[in-house]
């Protein structure tokens, strides 16, 4: 049984992107990478760069490197710095620490995963551009122990719905697609991606959570695919397990 991460197991509705970006900028400033860039100006360019990069990779589904995103943003301010520079890495860590502060676990997730682990092989398949950030978030919520495989777009280079990331998880678990179930909140990334490989799909609607204004464009839009089952929250999954 494979799970999505964001807004399926760990909820991001309290995510304060401004706080994250401000910490990132502060870190670049502390490392003397920048002298003074007004926050609003930086934010404007950052989002332009980010959205452009995701638009360009919409077809290939190549993951957009976080370091490169920062490097490109800084280039607009005539600053040449490599995305792999330790100061950029530190800035990304600051961004992620702020992200983790406001992330919260779906309250039923630990109970559900504990129960499922007795009967199923469990895996996590996540679109997360900076893989160490996902590992850190999983540790923060004590979730790592549940999964035999954690497939991360930031590590593999491809995002859901690209087949490669799903196949990687199935291969590691040694489970055939038609014997697997995918549980996620995105029609396009999770349900479409998993369904076309032959997995059974469960859409978690988490009403009220899936309005993340910072989601990658299109990821949460309506998408012409039907999950095998749609449930309002994870608690419901435990109730319907018998029919999966």
Residues lying near Mg ion in the complex (CB under 5 A) are found at 4, 6-7, 185-186
Residue placing its CB nearer to Mg ion in the complex, 28 or 125: 125
The structure tokens listed for 200 are 């059974």
Residue placing its CB nearer to Mg ion in the complex, 6 or 67: 6
Nearest to 186 by CA among 17, 14, 6: 6
The structure tokens listed for 115 are 């129960």
Give the burial class of 90: count Cβ atoms within 10 A of its Cβ; 0-12 exposed, 13-18 middle, 19 or more buried.
middle
CB of 53 to Mg ion, least distance (A): 20
As beta bridge partners, residue 10 has 6, 105
Residues 6+ apart with CB under 8 A from 117: 146
CB of 39 to Mg ion, least distance (A): 28
Residue placing its CB nearer to Mg ion in the complex, 4 or 155: 4
CB of 240 to Mg ion, least distance (A): 20
Residue nearest to Mg ion (CB): 6
Residue placing its CB nearer to Mg ion in the complex, 72 or 210: 210
User: How far from the centroid of its chain's Cα atoms is residue 74's Cα?
Assistant: 24
CB of 38 to Mg ion, least distance (A): 33
């Amino acid at each position: 049984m494979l799970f999505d991460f964001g807004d399926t197991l760990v909820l991001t509705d309290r995510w304060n992107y401004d706080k994250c970006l401000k910490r990132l900028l502060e870190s670049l400033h502390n490392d003397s990478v920048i002298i003074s860039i007004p926050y609003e100006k930086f934010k404007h360019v950052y989002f332009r760069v980010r959205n452009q990069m995701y638009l360009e990779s919409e077809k290939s589904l190549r993951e957009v490197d976080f370091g490169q995103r920062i490097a490109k943003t800084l280039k607009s301010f005539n600053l040449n710095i490599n995305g792999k520079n330790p100061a950029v890495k530190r800035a990304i860590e600051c961004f992620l620490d702020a992200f983790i502060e406001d992330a919260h676990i779906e309250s039923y997730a630990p109970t559900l995963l504990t129960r499922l682990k007795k009967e199923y092989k469990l895996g996590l398949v996540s679109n997360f551009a900076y893989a160490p950030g996902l590992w850190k978030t999983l540790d923060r919520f004590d979730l790592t122990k549940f999964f035999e495989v954690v497939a991360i777009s930031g590590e593999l280079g491809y995002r859901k719905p690209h087949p490669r990331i799903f196949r990687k998880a199935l291969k590691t678990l040694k489970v055939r697609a038609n014997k697997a179930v995918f549980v996620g909140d995105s029609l396009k990334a999770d349900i479409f991606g998993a369904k076309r490989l032959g997995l059974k799909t469960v859409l978690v609607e988490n009403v009220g959570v899936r309005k993340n204004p910072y989601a990658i464009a299109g990821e949460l839009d309506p998408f012409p695919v039907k999950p095998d089952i749609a449930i309002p929250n994870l608690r419901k999954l435990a109730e319907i397990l018998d029919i999966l």
